[in-house]
Amino acid sequence: MHERYSYLCLYPFLPAASEYVKESGLTLDHLISSVSARIRARERVIEAIRTGCVERPVIGDEQHAQMELLSYPFARILVSCIRDPYLVRRYALAEAKGAYRRIIEELHSGRIDTIHKLADDLGLSIHTSAGYVLVPFTDYLRLTVNLRDKRWKLVNRSLVRGKVKLNMNEFVRVVQEAIYERVVKGLPLDVPEEICNSLSAHIEEIKHELALRRAKTDEFRAPSGGDPESFPPCIRNIIRNLKDGVNIPHSARFAVTAFLLNAGLSVEDVIELYRSLPDFNESMTRYQVEHIAGVRSGTRYTAPSCATMRTYGNCVDKDELCEKVSHPLSYYRLKLKAKKA
């Protein structure tokens, strides 16, 4: 099998993959009529919903490789027909995570040339020196904006002539963000209604999987304590965003975690809430929740005040009771008291 073809079917989000499809003379009609590509595209989307990662495909021959390559634009069509923001984010992240695992495999096999080629195809102008990768700080800032760990903050990185110094594993993680950016760009596509109608069977199956996934994220019932109906609007909004898979800022994560722990929920209850996020990392989440709970730090943190919530833009949907309190926990206690009266 031609090496370039094999490369493109493993990384179908690259501009070169789109160019290859165009050069092959394949039209939208060809794509729609390809049964194998449709089935594999449906599998890609369902795999993204179920596991959060589109795994490396097994490529047997050139025909199989072509099917794999065509399944990617078809998967984007299926996602676009459903037009669900959570599905768009989860699908894009799953493609990026799958690619990340493939790149790590290449790295462990000593295929550094593939990583350089990917960086070039993604528009990243990098330099390597003594086992490190130098990335322009403008690209670095754009691609690490959603990475919450302190080690990604620019003040904690070494700069060499305007470029950020990363080890190879760190660079691959940044490449994952670049891939997510590439996959999510343009989604949802403006797909004609008649095409979506012709794919109704696949779409209904995907919607069913999405509903099952959503049912799991809606199971948050504060089992060890707490009364969600009495939570203040700001906290309810953050929880709603978490369950919808929205990548909320660090200030909101801290606020909701500290509030819930002080409202009587256990560490396990709070960790379970975060499982709704497409980029959920259990070990990292556990560490952060246990730190706020005082398990690791020895200091149990309280939730931020209303003034602090306003400062960080986390105060939303204020009601009449909000005007009478200065802290989210005060709101909660007054609500509980009123319900018991």
Pick from 277, 230, 232: which is nearest to 256 by CA? 232
Read off the pLDDT of each residue in 249-277 and give the average, rounded to a whole number. Answer: 90
pLDDT band at 16 (very low <50, low <70, confident <90, very high): confident
CA angle 151–180–135, rounded 5-degree value: 50
Q: What is the pLDDT of residues 129-155, one digit of tens each?
A: 888 999 999 999 999 987 767 788 889
Comparing 232 with 1, the larger pLDDT belongs to 232
3-state secondary structure of 144: coil
For residues 70 and 27, the answer to whether their CB atoms sit within 8 Å is no
Radius of gyration of the chain (CA): 23
Q: What is the pLDDT of residue 244?
A: 72
Tell me the average pLDDT across 152-162.
Answer: 90
Query: How distant is the alpha carbon of residue 41 from its chain centre?
Result: 19
pLDDT at res. 110: 85
Residues 6+ apart with CB under 8 A from 106: 114, 115
| β strands within 6-136, DSSP E | 127-129, 132-136
Task: Note the pLDDT of residue 158.
Answer: 93
Q: How many CB atoms lie within 10 A of CB 188?
A: 16
- Give the whole-angstrom CA distance, residue 294 versus residue 192: 54
DSSP H or E stretch at residue 166: strand 163-167
Structural element, H or E, at residue 257: helix 250-262
Lookup result for tokens 């994220």: 217
CATH architecture of 3-201: Up-down Bundle (1.20)
Separation between Cα atoms, residue 114 and residue 14, nearest integer Å:
13
**pLDDT, tens digit (0-9, with 9 covering 90-100), for 58-104:** 777 777 888 888 899 999 999 999 999 889 988 998 999 999 999 99
Do 207 and 82 meet the contact criterion of CB atoms below 8 Å apart? yes
SS3 of the chain: helix, strand, coil, percent, to 5 = 65, 5, 30
Mean pLDDT of the chain: 87
**Residue pLDDT, tens place only, 187-237:** 999 999 999 999 999 999 999 999 888 776 555 555 556 788 899 999 988
- Distance, in Å, from the CA atom of 187 to the CA atom of 89, rounded to the nearest integer, reads 9
Q: How many CB atoms lie within 10 A of CB 46?
A: 18
Q: Tell which wins on pLDDT, 334 or 277.
A: 334
Query: DSSP state, 322?
Result: G
Alpha helices for 131-185 (secondary structure H): 137-143, 168-184
Q: Could you state, in order of their start, the residue ranges of all structural domains in the chain?
A: 3-201, 218-340
